[in-house]
Amino acid sequence: MTAFCGQRGFTLIELLIAMALTALIGAMSYRFLDTAMAVSEQGSDVLQQLNDLERVWLLMAADLQQASTRPAAKPATGVDALAVTDLQPRGRPAMLSLAGGGMFLPSTLQRPGAQLWFVRAGWSNPLQQRRSELQRVAYRVVDGNLYRDYWPERNQSLTETPAGSLRLLQNVEALSFRFLPVGALPGEDAWSREWPPVLNDSVSTAAPGDDRQANDELMTRLPAAVEVQLQSRALGNISRIFLLAGAP
């Protein structure tokens, strides 16, 4: 009994101090863990954005490198917004940007946020369906989302509802394009903000007389290169230049 009487336990104050230290260490550990998880989640979001952006570049590269020099087809029935170009020497364009040729692409296609439209070739057909290998493509931005619309080419109206619409990227703040005409040197003054260039564009007025007319006709087909400028909330400003294999 004497041995037990000599032992001493924790006092109430010591227990309270130990409990307080345990709670403090737990709170600090939770904050560290919460911060680490937030950083990890943010890193995962950025990595997903990068993966999505790389998919955008791959799709755009495939589309633009397969862009067809074939002018926009007249609809099989009725008329479309490009009917005004049928009476012009330059004819129908093969590519249209937001305000190309003085027209407004979202109204022409009746697709809000449309920024670029053209026809591409080489549309794979693994199921051997009875359809054209030409595909109409449009890129547009709506509510911060970048979409790729597509239609099988069958001389339909430009305002027909697309066969499919794929959301490619979120949190897009701005999307714009620049176009380099065939034969132009890649300086800042050579790029056009719209395609086809409007009549008073410095690019289209560079050549006098018959040379200007030939140059205008050439520019309404396809540019030599397209620069894509994209502003993302997560990734900032990114640009990429694509060369068009189909340009003469």
Domains and CATH numbers, the chain: 49-243 (3.10.610.10)
Say what the pTM is: 0.75
Beta strands (DSSP E) in the chain are 95-97, 114-120, 135-142, 145-152, 164-169, 172-180, 225-232, 236-243
Q: Which two tokens stand for residue 96?
A: 């249209």
Query: Which amino acid is residue 98, in one-letter code?
Result: L
Both tokens assigned to 223: 């540019």
Alpha-carbon distance 206 to 184, whole Å? 10
Q: How far apart are CA 118 and CA 242, in angstroms?
A: 15
Measure CA of the first residue to CA of the last residue in the chain; give whole Å: 107
* Residue 82: half-sphere exposure toward Cβ, Cα within 13 Å: 25
Query: How many helices and strands, by DSSP H and E, does the chain display?
Result: 4, 8
Question: What is the dihedral sign for C-alpha 80, 82, 88, 91?
Answer: negative
- φ, ψ of residue 206 in degrees (nearest 5): -70, -30
> pLDDT per position in the chain (248 positions), as tens?
445 555 566 677 777 777 777 877 877 777 776 676 665 565 567 778 888 899 999 999 999 999 998 888 888 888 888 888 877 777 888 999 999 888 899 999 999 999 999 999 977 766 666 667 899 999 999 999 999 999 998 888 999 999 999 999 999 999 999 999 988 887 778 899 999 987 554 444 444 445 555 555 555 589 999 999 999 887 889 999 999 976 65
